[in-house]
A and B are shown apart, each in its own frame.
Chain A
Amino acid sequence: MSSTEPEIAVDDPTAPAEDSPAITSTRVVETIVYIVLLALALLLGFDNWRTGMGWEAEGPQAGYFPFYLSIVLAAASLYGLVDIFISRAASGETFVTRDQFRRVMQVFVPTFLFCLFTQWLGLYVASFILIAGFMWMVGRIALWKSIVTSLVFSLAMFVTFEIAFDVIMPKGPLEALFGF
């Protein structure tokens, strides 16, 4: 069935190796997540209790619904925690290997930095840096191609949103130089 169709063939030079050592197991991560969720539920529950979770003359107070939601969340998280300790069966499952973790960080850290840079450099300059950097370093695409693509894209976005549609995005010092 797929013999008559063109294949999309995209390469991946920095792919994680199959035999990379594991960093941690699923049980550990799930336990941590459940605990975090439990803490969140308690925090939000407290806040909603403070806002008011009773029933007024005209109906439920503002915090009513979220309060019970946080109770549901806490209960389900507790259930999950108990479930993990009871069923020791799925203990060995790897959550992430070292290589995979490296790759995920390769995306996550730049994206996080992008959000930070947007505050100071504005959206368009920050995305230019992000796209060019990502294409070059992770995708191993030639530097000139990365820069040109990124430049074209950022400019296109700028023209589309700022000029054509009048949608104001955070801008930085570079745009200020040109009077925007």
Chain B
Amino acid sequence: MEAFGLLIHGFAVLLTWKTLALMMVGLVLGVFVGVLPGLGGPNGVAILLPLTFSMDPTSAIVMLSCIYWGALFGGAITSILFNIPGEAWSVATTFDGYPMAQQGKAAEALTAAFTSSFIGSLFAVLLITFLAPGIASFALRFGPPEFFAVYLLTFCSFVGLGREAKHKTIISMALGLLLAGVGMDTVSGQLRMTFGLSELLRGINFLVAVIGLFGISEILLTMEERLALRGHAARISLRVLLNVWMDLPRYWVTLLRSSVIGAWLGITPGGAIAASFMGYNLAKRFSKDSDSFGKGRIEGVFAPETAAHASGTAALLPMLALGIPGSGTAAILLGGLMVWGLNPGPLLFVEHKDFVWGLIASMYLGNIVGLVIVLTTVPVFAAVLRVPFAAIAQ
């Protein structure tokens, strides 16, 4: 297959010491960024984008995509250990991950999260490698009705499978969508709900909303209780690792289904967030024992993480093939590409073969290296969280 030959070529481009070093730096930075709430995948990549202008495009985008990878992995750490989602797509991981940590199974939860993330990403990267041309042309035919249908399905599944009273879920959704609508309407250019305040011209900043809704409110909630934390430490021993890995094949249906959901939602602009919730909700619906979800089922960690990573990775496919970013971070990477003069689109595959296949090869490698890094350094990141909450809270 031609794709395979190009992939080998890509690996050759990748395997220089410099690129590998950059990959490690990117991954570590990414995990760190993912662990800190508020500084997420899109922001982390955006902030570090200027750093990379001095590098050549291949190295730069390898590092940036590794930051993105690391952020995907890192978001799970605080979700599971502290019930504070590091990223929007790790919210679904808190549903079962945190109860698992509370039951003393933090190491299992983390291993499960990382491994399933790896599987999800790997699935998506394989997909990208072999299906790049075909899928890209299909996604081009997706129109507004189809996008609307995807989102409607996701929101309905929130309401249908939510743990809170239905009307409260609906209120939250309506409020969220309304807040998102503040500012200039991208279609007509009219100002909505700004009430004459020029600060609201660009709408309510997503970062502000995330920090306020997730960060500060979580902290305030925690202040109501004793802050004495016990037992949520995690040292991933080899024994735990092997236990989880041997348990893994049992859940192959969940993993496969979540990977497919994730890849599909990633390619079409559904995003990692929708993917993680859908993966979780569908796993719950199709399980024989749906009541145990939310109390610490390992499947409840597998499903959203696999879906989120598959989607996050798959989001790069339309970005490269069509110039349509499948997610916020992909959009920023897109910006970076255009700055370097590489115009994404079908021509990219033809004119800049080195770059594209180097990037795709780096996805494989970055995935594997990333998994190793997080599995070994979780104690380090957990140690960061040992610092008394009073200090971290700020």
Contacts and interface: CB of A to CB of B under 8 A. Distances in A.
Interface of A: 1-2, 4-12, 15-16, 37, 40-41, 44, 47-48, 51-52, 59, 61-63, 65-66, 69-70, 72-73, 76-77, 79-80, 83, 96, 100, 103-104, 106-108, 111, 127, 130-131, 134-135, 138-139, 141, 149, 165-167
A62 B193 CA distance: 10
A108 B223 CA distance: 10
A6 B72 CA distance: 26
Interface stretch (B4-12, B183-191, B320-328, B349-357): B183-191
Contact of B167 (A8, A40, A80, A104): A80
Interface of B: 47-48, 50-51, 104-107, 165, 167-168, 170-171, 174-175, 177-178, 181, 185, 187-188, 190-193, 195, 216, 219-220, 223-235, 237, 382, 385-386, 388-391, 393-394
A10 B229 contact: yes
Nearest to B107: A5
Given A2-B104, A61-B188, A141-B391, A73 B178 contact: yes
A146 B48 CA distance: 30
B50 A165 contact: yes
A38 B168 CA distance: 13
A83 B167 contact: yes
Contacts of A80: 167-168, 171
A48 B182 CA distance: 10
A146 B195 CA distance: 42
B121 to A, nearest CB: 27
A139 to B, nearest CB: 3
Contacts of B192: 47-48, 51, 62-63, 66
Contacts of A52: 190
Contacts of B226: 12, 15-16
Contacts of A10: 227-229, 386, 388-389
A179 B71 CA distance: 35
Given A1-B105, A8-B231, A165-B48, 13 more contacts: A2-B231, A9-B230, A11-B227, A47-B193, A47-B195, A48-B193, A65-B177, A66-B177, A69-B174, A76-B167, A80-B167, A104-B220, A134-B394
Most chain A beta-carbon contacts within 10 A, residue among B187, B195, B220, B232: B220
A129 B43 CA distance: 26
A65 B148 CA distance: 12
B306 to A, nearest CB: 24
A3 to B, nearest CB: 9
Nearest to A133: B394
Contacts of B175: 37, 40, 73
A7 B188 contact: no
Nearest to B194: A47
A8 B104 CA distance: 12
A167 B181 contact: no
A127 B394 contact: yes
Contacts of B227: 10-12, 15
B234 to A, nearest CB: 7
A12 to B, nearest CB: 4
A135 B390 contact: yes
Most chain B beta-carbon contacts within 10 A, residue among A59, A66, A127: A66
B181 A65 contact: yes
Given A2-B231, A5-B233, A37-B175, A106 B391 contact: no
Nearest to A112: B216
